[in-house]
Amino acid sequence: MIKNNTETIIENNKVTYKRYFDVPADLLFEVWSQGEHLTEWWGPDGFTLTINSLDFSNGGIWDFVMHGPDGHNYKNKIQFIEIKKPISISYKHIGDGEGDEDVDFQSRIVFEGVGEGTNLIMEQIFSSKAELERVNEKYGAIEGGKQHIGNLAKYLEKIK
Whether residue 1 is contained in a domain is answered as: no
CATH number, position 23: 3.30.530.20
pLDDT in tens, 79-126: 999 999 999 999 999 877 555 556 779 999 999 999 999 999 999 999
Whether residue 99 is contained in a domain is answered as: yes
Whether residue 149 is contained in a domain is answered as: yes
Number of compact structural domains in the chain: 1
Termini Cα distance of the chain: 21
Whether residue 38 is contained in a domain is answered as: yes
Q: What pLDDT, on the 0 to 100 scale, is given for residue 94?
A: 87
Whether residue 137 is contained in a domain is answered as: yes
Q: What pLDDT, on the 0 to 100 scale, is given for residue 152?
A: 97
Whether residue 2 is contained in a domain is answered as: no
Whether residue 130 is contained in a domain is answered as: yes
Whether residue 132 is contained in a domain is answered as: yes
Q: What pLDDT, on the 0 to 100 scale, is given for residue 1?
A: 44
| Cβ partners under 8 Å of residue 89, min gap 6 | 29, 32, 33, 80, 82, 83, 107, 108, 109
CA 127 to chain centre: 18
Q: Which domain holds residue 100?
A: 7-159
| pLDDT band for position 3 (cuts 50, 70, 90) | low
pLDDT in tens, 61-77: 999 999 999 999 989 99
Helices (DSSP H) in 24-140: which residue ranges?
A: 25-33, 35-41, 129-139
Q: What pLDDT, on the 0 to 100 scale, is given for residue 2?
A: 44
